[in-house]
Structures are given as structure tokens and as C-alpha cells.
Amino acid sequence: MAVTSLGYVRLNSPDIAAWRRFGEDFMGMMRVDGNDPDSLYFRLDEYPARIVVTPAAEPSLGALGFEVMHARDLAAVVRDVEAEGIKVTAGTAPECAERRVTGFARFDDPAGNAVELFYGPILDHVLINTPLVSGFVTGDMGLGHVIVSAEDVPTAFDFYERVLGFVERNTAGPTYFMGCNPRHHSFGLAPKPGPGSMLHLMVEMASIDDVGRALDRAGELEVPMMNTLGKHTNDQMLSFYVYSPELYAVECGWEGLRVETAVPTYGITEGALWGHKFTPPPR
């Protein structure tokens, strides 16, 4: 019983118009209609919307959607989470319908990040159509990866490893990178004072040309650059980073490492083999 993938990310944003442009015109995701006419729904593949952005006064993480195998595993993981003294709430039928999942339950992790465990995505058989990107790499590796903050990283890491079943891939000083499928890391925790918050989202594109064209679009659309093109030391991803409308670090990557067998954890002293030169946020 463990999380099998990062299935979806829900974000609350004060600037839906900016996200529409960012998600559709820059990232090249397929925008589709959903149950809430005010929210943005972006597909990457046959799964229901992988990224959902809902209007809100302040930017925040709505939820990390982690997938489990089926109803029985959901019930088992929920019991384990409750045994930690964490309050878990079952998703209602309308909430399941809006997410297009068969069932889910929500709780806050020990750092205060909103988590939803779900099973049974209702697949969309309307062919994915992303004219700007030849494809997104998902499948058995899920949506991509996210990094959130925790004031107390060791306590949050213990919860994700011991209770949700994540595997430690590597550390970078106080930051932990964790896997739950062949993707090198689906999830990470970085220290930051205050309640847990969204820091970073990565989507993987099918070809190096997709990343190059996304880099061109960032320039044309004046999406602020965060890290120049570079290659990571841990997941070997070739990528660049921009700032989202809320100044999250959004990474467009290619050819990240698949970790097929158990590999001992390790520490890294540099984030990049080359490139990834940093530019501070625009405001």
C-alpha cells in the first residue's frame, strides 16, 4: 500500500487570465472544460485534468493529488494516516465528479500542505491535442514532480516515507527528493519557515525540440526566466525553469532518469552538471 504516482496538482490563483496564457500558450498543455466554469483545467494525457487552477484572492496550493491503486489501498492508507493523529476527510460525490476520480480523501501533511489521495481516474478518450508540444511524458511516471516546503523537513519526510510509502532518492543538504515509481523523484521537501507551500512543478516533454520550442515561447511571451537551460545532477533532466504567475518555479524538462531498481540514496553537492544559471524573481 503506497502512493503510485503524482496524479494531479490543484492550484489557487488570483490571476486566472495569466494562468490561461501560461498553461496554454507557454506550457502548451491542452485546456479543457470542467465542472467549474471559473477554473482552468489542463490535460497532459488521457487522465483527467492534471493541473487545475481555481480563482482565489491569494495564491496557494489547493492540493497535491497522489494516486493509489484502488479503493482497498485508499482505505488502508487512510487508516495509516489517521493512525498518525491526522484528520482525514472523504471526498464528496460532487468533488469526485469535478476531479473525475472514483474516490479520494484529503488531509494536511505534517507541514500543512494539502494532500488528496485518489484512485480510479475516469480516463478521457478524446485524443489529446497539444499543437505546441509533441507530447508529455507521463504514463507510469505520473504528471511530473513537485517540491513543497516544510518548516520541519525531517518530520514531514518521515511521514511521506513511512506512511505514504515514498522512497528516498537523494538529498541536497536539507532538501529531500523522493520517488514512488520509475520517475527519479515525484516529490520533494525543502525547508522554509511558516506553513507548507508550493515551490516547484516540473512537466517532462517528449523531445528535446519541445523544450527548445518552449524556451523560444518563454522569450516571445516574456515569461520570466528563473534558470537557464541546464542538466540536473540527480534526475539527469535537461531543462529550464521559469516563474509561474505566482512565482513558483516551473520546469520544462526532457529525458529525466528512469529508476527501475532499488538504488541506495546519496547526497549531491551541485544541482546541475552545467547550466541552470539563476535569475531572481521579477518582483
Residues within the interface to Fe ion (CB under 5 A): 202, 251
Our CB check for Fe ion shows the closer of 27 and 77 to be 27
When CB distances to Fe ion are compared, the closest residue is 202
Our CB check for Fe ion shows the closer of 20 and 258 to be 258
**Shortest separation between residue 145's beta carbon and Fe ion, angstroms:** 6
Our CB check for Fe ion shows the closer of 26 and 41 to be 26
Residues 6+ apart with CB under 8 A from 23: 29, 31, 40, 42, 51, 53
Strands 198-205 and 101-108: unpaired
Hey, what's the cell of 18? 495569466
Our CB check for Fe ion shows the closer of 45 and 251 to be 251
CA distances from 272 to 88, 168, 217, 243, 251 (A): 38, 19, 23, 18, 13
Provide the residue count of the chain.
Answer: 283
Measured CA to CA, the distance from residue 231 to residue 7 in angstroms comes to 25
**Shortest separation between residue 202's beta carbon and Fe ion, angstroms:** 4
**Shortest separation between residue 31's beta carbon and Fe ion, angstroms:** 23
Contact 156, 148 (CB under 8 A): no
Our CB check for Fe ion shows the closer of 39 and 239 to be 239
**Shortest separation between residue 89's beta carbon and Fe ion, angstroms:** 30
Our CB check for Fe ion shows the closer of 67 and 251 to be 251
**Shortest separation between residue 189's beta carbon and Fe ion, angstroms:** 13
Hey, what's the cell of 178? 523522493
**Shortest separation between residue 71's beta carbon and Fe ion, angstroms:** 32
* 167-172 β-sheet, strand order: 266-267, 167-172, 175-179, 187-191, 145-150, 198-205, 249-254, 238-243, 225-232, 272-275
Measured CA to CA, the distance from residue 196 to residue 199 in angstroms comes to 9
